[in-house]
A and B are shown apart, each in its own frame.
Chain A
Amino acid sequence: MKILILIGNVPDTTTKVKFNADRTAFDASGVQWIINPWDELALTRAMELKETSGGAVEAVVVANVGRAETEATLRKALAIGADKAIRIDADPKEAGYVASQLATIAAGYDLIMAGIEAADYNGNAVGGMLAEMLGMNSVSAVSGIQIENGQLKINREIDGGSQVVGLPMPLVAIVQKGIAKEPRIPAMRGIMMARSKPLEVVQPIDAAPMTNMVTFEMPPAKAACKMIAEDQAKDLIHLLRDEAKVL
């Protein structure tokens, strides 16, 4: 079987977010880019499946939509252990556009994994859209994947508990925390080998974006903290009940 991991190239999660002057685009100057953390967990799980499947998983491929500068992120994915990378040479404008591009290269895989959300725009959309475009089944909120007798055994988080479902392949799994314990740190050998692994660049197709960005707003600044003396519990009750209205 072949596994495809969708890789988002996102700002490091400690980035101080800024926008351009008319607040229609993210200001990327000085930003350190990383693999979207959920995608990195998906890749880690794919490597574990490959290593323990006794040859059943033939290849793990990673793909993203992005310009040449996102290749560092793909090289890291190759260093972690992916066999091949595909970059679709376009700006990842929005989820529908990205899914349309990925659909051109995503046929023929038995399992496609996408992170449940992206650390940048938090869209939570590409995986589901891609499944729809490919006519594949998809499962969301996946926190565990095993291969058993040629089928997938999948753990899902549901309200108040969890669920185990058996599913045939092919499948798009939209994965969340728990899919792997921790993202794998590549070894130096992996970094060396990543040099010579294939990184294919694919030209984009014409696809109309489904949404357009109107404006970004920063969250309101935190209000000043009110300190209450330790022997003034009454004041605290008053503030919680009458001002914050949470009691």
Chain B
Amino acid sequence: MNFDLSQEHELIRQTVREFAEREIKPVAQELDEKAEFSPALTKRMGELGLFGMYLPEKYGGQGLDTLSYIIAVEELARVDGSQAATLAAHNSLGIGPLYYFGTEEQKKELLPKLCTGEALWSFGLTEPGAGSDSRGSKTTAEKVGDEWVINGSKIFITNGASDLNIGCTVQAVSANTDGKKQFTTIIVGSQTPGFKRMSMHNKMMWRASDTAELFFDDCRVPAENTLGKVGEGSKIMLTTLDAGRLSIAAMGLGAAQGAYELALAYALERKQFGQPIAKFQINAFKLADMAMKIELARNLLYKACWLKDEGRPFGMESAMAKLYCSEIAREVADEAVQIHGGYGLMKDYAVERFYRDQRLLQIGEGTSEIQRLVISRFIGC
């Protein structure tokens, strides 16, 4: 058994960390406060080759493995959840389904631009009435001649409405026979008539990432915009979410690491009763627990990535990693605020942003409850 990362993985970590520290950290608080999505940072991520990292070079990617990509998300999340969200959503949900299920023609047309950082793609699954119960989708796609006519709406769609967004993969009910729904996934360009995109405001977390509401009103696209086969929508969704869980897990791990480092540095510096508060056993043990949880989370997540890269089943491990990493992100961020005391409640201290940003992770891309359901089915309950 060998737990060492390769020299290349270490270099990727060092590189993304340098980028995050140097270019994201100085602006993270301001972007968060203004709830401003940054096209400039998105473009920089494209220049560094973070979008489509795991795609072959012929589609504009870098040909790297899953672990490389996960380390990149982790390192961004260690500094800022919003930018990590832009990267994770675009890679896993935007690019992922197009790459795994697109025709050669669709891939050649879309993927190279989606790797540049100048164009983003979103994945339209969640609806106002269909969250955990994704089969409750009401958005329909009706075949009229050689076109799909789409009607309905989607909500909480990351990267869905900024100026950089050029389209969405939409999950729609394409047939409904005796209450048995058939799902089809369809590619919709952002400029298609009848497709309206609106940014959602007043979020508690990921305030510098773009979250959208999408509306389809007799939105017509050619039948060849079908992604995969007609009726394959559920499979595409489940496969996409399996891989997407790894990147949400990476966000949890990164957020926990970032919050822990802030807490440790603060505890070593802050003095009360004549000594650094890290010297009080109650705080030292908190920090020890944080370090242990992060170590466990990292091992679990990296193992799930390894399974995926080996071409082995990884569905259960990715659900476990998503669940564990997101839950420890909450625990660690919560204790990190506690260690900061009153200062932890102030926006001048980054730990306040970590505390808010982690809260999505137990909800997005399958709630903690749904992850437990997934795991329980794998173990035969």
Chain B residue numbers with a CB within 8 Å of A76 are 11, 14
* Residues in B whose Cβ lies below 8 Å from that of A186: 11, 15
**A71 partner residues in chain B, CB cutoff 8 A:** 7
Specify which of A72, A75, A192 is in contact with B62 (CB 8 Å cutoff).
A192
Contact B12 A188 (CB under 8 A): yes
Interface of A is mostly: helix
B11 and A72 within 8 A (CB)? yes
The one of A72, A188, A192 in contact with B50, judged by C-beta atoms closer than 8 angstroms, is A188
A186 to chain B: closest residue by CB:
B15
Q: Which of A188-223 contact B (CB under 8 A)?
A: 188-189, 191-192, 194-195
Contact of A191 among B11, B18, B19 (CB under 8 A): B11
Q: How large is the interface on B (under 10, 10 to 19, 20 to 34, 35 or more residues)?
A: 10 to 19
Query: What CA separation (Å) do A201 and B47 show in the bound complex?
Result: 32
Q: Are A189 and B14 closer than 8 Å at their CB atoms? A: no
Complex contacts, A185 vs chain B, CB 8 Å: 15, 18-19, 22, 48
B53's contact among A75, A188, A195, by CB below 8 Å, is which?
A: A188
Which residue from chain A places its CB closest to the CB of B52 in the assembled complex?
A188
Q: Is the CB of B47 within 8 A of A192?
A: no
* Nearest CB in chain A: distance from B101 CB, A: 24
B45 CB, min distance to chain A CBs, angstroms: 10
Q: Is A91 an interface residue (CB 8 A)?
A: no
Let me know if B39 is at the binding interface, CB within 8 A.
Answer: no
CB of A195 within 8 A of CB of B8, answer yes
In the complex, A185 Cα to B11 Cα: how many Å? 11
The A/B interface has a contact count, at CB < 8 Å, of 42
Q: Which residue of A lies closest to B48 (CB)?
A: A187
A59-117 at interface with B (beta carbon < 8 Å): 71-72, 75-76, 79
Q: Which of B10, B22, B49 contacts A72 (CB 8 A)?
A: B10
B-side contacts of A235, CB under 8 Å? none
Query: Does B63 touch A at the CB level, under 8 Å?
Result: yes
CB-based nearest A residue for B9:
A191
Q: Which of B1-44 contact A (CB under 8 A)?
A: 7-8, 10-12, 14-15, 18-19, 22
How far is B185's CA from A123's CA once the two chains are assembled, in angstroms? 63
B64 within 8 A of partner (CB): yes
Q: Measured between C-beta atoms, what is the minimum distance from A62 to chain B in Å?
A: 15
Check if B63 sits within 8 Å of A192, measured CB to CB. Answer: yes
Residues on A with C-beta less than 8 A from B18 are 185
A79 touches B22 (CB 8 A): no
A132 within 8 A of B: no
CB distance from B87 to the nearest CB of A (A): 12
Provide a sorted-by-A list of 21 A–B residue pairs whose CB atoms are within 8 angstroms: A72-B7, A72-B10, A72-B11, A75-B7, A75-B8, A75-B11, A79-B15, A182-B22, A186-B15, A187-B48, A188-B15, A188-B48, A188-B50, A188-B53, A188-B62, A188-B64, A189-B49, A189-B62, A191-B12, A192-B62, A194-B11
Q: Which 6 A-B pairs have the closest CB atoms?
A: A188-B49, A188-B62, A187-B49, A187-B48, A189-B49, A72-B7
